[in-house]
Copies of this chain bind each other. A is one copy, B any other.
């Protein structure tokens, strides 16, 4: 195949080239167990501690600490299922179009008898801060609103949401799933964000590592039980390679901020998309309401999965929605956004990396247009 245009960076990203040096160092000398007592091993613990500092700095930590997990899902599970003090009448608030690792955690709490209020988003996946505050009551122990929506790229003003939540109930804790936002959206003031959860493989590091940022003295119990690693908050021998690679990728993005470039790519792509007939932009169009790297569109009269495979035949890789739900259908988020059946059927997600070029997104938009025209001949009879 001549071209290979990977536009599914919200699903996962290609590891940075320079991580091969991290691997080489790990395999040669940094593979030892961080919990062992001799110097060769304590050196790995020191490097893990430095990795935490790197991540916390990129987050804009204020009195936050960090521990590593195996993925974004485990991170969110830990916060939601172990992150609020047990009390009698437990009430939770959850966003209306959260990642399943958040939504399923709240459903588990619901089935255990807790009350959960789901706050609907607008049709692009944006959550109104006031709507979240309205849902908070005196029994609310935890509120969870994602920073950037993994389907549409919709950006929530989590700083404002967190402070409105605290204004309504100072005891309510606030969590944000930052998996799609970390190192892409900069936070000015994290002081009201009690928990923030992130994942390495969305940032050109390896799969298998996530982290939880949490404010000191905030309730938090371990979810994985065992040897008491990560200051007792996450047992299991640490994934040295995953952790070192995560920190190396974060450092790369700190030194090479890509937001501007990605917004420019987005402009080019949206401009091209506007020329495709009968195509609806599902993502928020305004840049201040959208993280640049994710665009969802619906090509009306076309089946998204069919479009995906015709593009694949041309070396262009996109998705019909998050990889986490691609095999289970996309009805959940379609319902959350209130899509029409035709919009839901034709929905595809295109997601960029800092390495995506204007030529690539022009070629992709062109291919979408041509394939759509072809496919509609068969479906619109």
User: Which of the segments A181-189, A324-332, A363-371 contacts the partner chain?
Assistant: A324-332
- Given the known A-B contacts A70-B71, A208-B208, A241-B207, are A12 and B38 also in contact in the complex, defined by CB atoms under 8 Å? no
Bound CA span A298–B364, Å: 67
User: Which of the segments A163-171, A282-290, A315-323 contacts the partner chain?
Assistant: A315-323
Pick from B36, B208, B240, B322: contact of A209, CB below 8 A.
B208
Bound CA span A287–B70, Å: 37
CB distance from A315 to the nearest CB of B (A): 10
Does A151 touch B at the CB level, under 8 Å?
no
- Given the known A-B contacts A70-B70, A77-B226, are A37 and B308 also in contact in the complex, defined by CB atoms under 8 Å? yes
Of residues 220 to 246 in A, which have CB atoms within 8 Å of B's CB atoms? 224-229, 235-242
Query: Which residues does chain B contribute within 8 Å of A31, judged by CB atoms?
Result: 12, 14-15, 206-207
Does A99 touch B at the CB level, under 8 Å?
yes
Q: Mark A292-320, 1 if CB is under 8 A from B, else 0.
A: 00000000000001001100100001011
Give the A interface residue count (CB, 8 A): 70
User: Which of the segments A88-96, A100-108, A116-124 contacts the partner chain?
Assistant: A100-108
Bound CA span A228–B332, Å: 14
In chain B, what residue has the closest Cβ to A16?
A: B27
CB distance from A81 to the nearest CB of B (A): 8
Indicate if the CB atoms of A71 and B324 lie closer than 8 Å. no
CB distance from A275 to the nearest CB of B (A): 25
Query: Which residues does chain B contribute within 8 Å of A99, judged by CB atoms?
Result: 226-227
Indicate if the CB atoms of A11 and B36 lie closer than 8 Å. yes
Does A73 touch B at the CB level, under 8 Å?
yes
- Given the known A-B contacts A206-B239, A323-B33, A326-B37, are A104 and B309 also in contact in the complex, defined by CB atoms under 8 Å? no
Indicate if the CB atoms of A27 and B20 lie closer than 8 Å. yes
Does A201 touch B at the CB level, under 8 Å?
yes
CB distance from A264 to the nearest CB of B (A): 26
Indicate if the CB atoms of B38 and A317 lie closer than 8 Å. yes
Indicate if the CB atoms of A320 and B12 lie closer than 8 Å. no
Indicate if the CB atoms of B71 and A236 lie closer than 8 Å. yes
In chain B, what residue has the closest Cβ to A242?
A: B208
Query: Which residues does chain B contribute within 8 Å of A327, judged by CB atoms?
Result: 35, 37, 228
Does A129 touch B at the CB level, under 8 Å?
no
Query: Which residues does chain B contribute within 8 Å of A225, judged by CB atoms?
Result: 73, 77, 100-101, 104-105, 108
Which among A238, A241, A320 has the greatest number of chain B C-beta atoms within 10 A?
A: A241
Indicate if the CB atoms of A236 and B73 lie closer than 8 Å. yes
Does A74 touch B at the CB level, under 8 Å?
yes
26 contacts between A and B (CB under 8 A): A8-B36, A8-B38, A11-B32, A11-B35, A12-B33, A14-B27, A14-B31, A20-B23, A35-B323, A38-B309, A70-B224, A70-B236, A71-B239, A73-B236, A99-B227, A101-B226, A101-B236, A201-B237, A207-B241, A208-B208, A208-B209, A208-B239, A208-B241, A227-B323, A235-B324, A237-B324
